[in-house]
Structure 1
Amino acid sequence: MVDSEPMDTGLKGRTAVVPGASSGLGLAVARALAAEGANVVLGGRRGELVREEASKLPAAVGVEIDLTDPGATDALVGAAQDHFGPVDVLVLNGGGPPPGVAVDFTPEQLADAIALLVQPHQRLVQAVLPGMRGRRFGRIVAIGSSGVQAPIERLVASNAARAALAGYLKTLSTEVAADGVTVNMVLPGRIATDRVGVLDRANAERSGKSEEEVREQAKSAIPAGRYGTPEEFAAVVTFLASTAASYVTGEQIRCDGGLVRSH
């Protein structure tokens, strides 16, 4: 039997930008990229926390930003260029809008959701894309939601805005593939993060059940029988950011333990 060599991700010395990295999926992704030798810029509203987390990584810097502020783009991309060089890997990530139902969804709420989940990411893409195309290498990986493929009850704002982002990124992927730039989305299901905890508590209050009952009910709908871990999710993002995934683009890859049953 021949021993196989570990996969070379090709991320050593690359520069990655990860907004929403003070906790949860963003932080897990930042750590995973750093473990592969990437230089990482962590962005987040909690400046002290992102700087603290960055200090724990081999080559990283934390930047306090509000992603909805247009100035956040210059802050993140500028920090990357000042400390490490041009951006090779862009992870699109940020907080989600509050729960709500479609019958009560207003045009103003839709505009707010787009301002939170689409416009900031588009600004970041436009800032780094010319350089990626010029160097003929780039990885854009968006952290989405399973609601892109199977809309989630009582999350109409997230469902609508993330679907809009998905449409933009799919279109973009076909336009830049020949330039060595890949564009993909990873769709988490029930991953054990603070955000999912908030949603579980909201469901518990609405239904009159305990949080534990809500979690057990949610787990029963997942073929894997459990919530995923941020580290499992981050491993998928890291693969898509790697040179090994150079022929994967325009895809929506679910990391949900089999929750969404469609093909």
Structure 2
Amino acid sequence: MELNIKGKVALVCASTGGLGEATARALAGEGARVIVNGRRADLAAAIAADLPDAVPAPGDLLDPATPCRLVETAEEAFGPVDILVLNGPGPAPGRADQMDPAGISAAFDLHLRPQQELLSLVLPGMRERGWGRVAAIGSSGVVAPLPGLAASNVGRWALAAYLKTLAAEVAADGVTVNMVLPGRIATDRVGALDRARAEREGRTVEQVKSASENAIPAGRYGAPDEFGAAVAFLCSAPASYITGTALRCDGGLVGVL
């Protein structure tokens, strides 16, 4: 299948590692012109240099000035943004009964505020041109809250609700808005969560990982490039009638439709 996104301008947030990098590489492989973002300028530059047609745009999404800088970098290098992939770091593990007002605010600041700001900058142009793709990298916690990740569950649910509402508002303008929900994908983030759980429970990391794999019908953690391919499809031309959905890429882990 041809995804027909050659030459499209794709801004991929937090793409210097993990699922963001996998997504940037998948889009670049389909001919998109990619803006690589991350907090470390050296990593952003190295990954951009390794892609066929890409530029680095370092910056911390929690810095209020970053969204505008990212869009300006994209427009100066390639033109208006056609594809926006929302992504960011996850908050520290923690229980819901241990959250305080500052923690609630931090969850929204991490998962919703910068994403909304970026959307406000690129959506008008997408709607005017009659073509746009927005894909957010979420979490399976959106459909089944994850134990010990209360802040992540709260923030990602808020983003999911916002995007679902937005999808209906912009669909007639040729803009699709979707989320992709990873399960256990073999990234540094998941490795860190496994180590934290092993420490909490007095087990080895290998025991924690084995138990997780046994709970996944596919019997293994996913590969980052498998996830990147799913995002790339939702950002494609053939996916023009898919919007307002949350696609799980989890090996069958979550036991709901």
TM-score, normalised with respect to structure 2: 0.99
Q: After TM superposition, give the deviation of residue 84 of structure 1 in Å.
A: 0.4
Q: After TM superposition, give the deviation of residue 75 of structure 1 in Å.
A: 1.3
For 1:231 and 1:170, locate their aligned partners in 2 and report how far apart those are by CA, in whole Å.
26
Q: After TM superposition, give the deviation of residue 74 of structure 1 in Å.
A: 1.3
Deviation by residue 1:71-118 (Cα, 9 ceiling, x = unmatched) = 111111111100100000000000000000011111110101110111
Query: Which consecutive aligned stretches of 4+ in structure 1 deviate over 4 angstroms post-superposition?
Result: none
1:196 to 190, 197, 209: 190
- Tell me the SS of whatever aligns to 2:238: helix
1:81 to 69, 75, 90: 75
1:18 to 7, 12, 16: 12
1:61 to 51, 55, 77: 55
1:220 to 202, 214, 218: 214
> What corresponds to 2:246 in structure 1?
252
Percent pairwise identity: 57
TM-score, normalised with respect to structure 1: 0.97
2:224 aligned with 1:234? no
Deviation by residue 1:228-255 (Cα, 9 ceiling, x = unmatched) = 0100000100000000100000000000
> What corresponds to 2:255 in structure 1?
261
* Count of residues in Structure 1 that have an aligned counterpart in Structure 2: 257
Q: Which consecutive unaligned segments of at least 5 residues does structure 1 have?
A: 1-6
2:170 to 157, 172, 176: 176
For 1:166 and 1:103, locate their aligned partners in 2 and report how far apart those are by CA, in whole Å.
22
- Tell me the SS of whatever aligns to 1:11: coil
Task: State the superposition RMSD in angstroms.
Answer: 0.5
Q: After TM superposition, give the deviation of residue 10 of structure 1 in Å.
A: 1.2
Q: After TM superposition, give the deviation of residue 139 of structure 1 in Å.
A: 0.1
2:160 aligned with 1:166? yes
For 1:73 and 1:105, locate their aligned partners in 2 and report how far apart those are by CA, in whole Å.
28
Q: After superposing the two structures, state which structure 1 stretch, 187-196 or 65-74, moved more.
A: 65-74
2:103 to 92, 98, 109: 109
For 1:46 and 1:117, locate their aligned partners in 2 and report how far apart those are by CA, in whole Å.
20
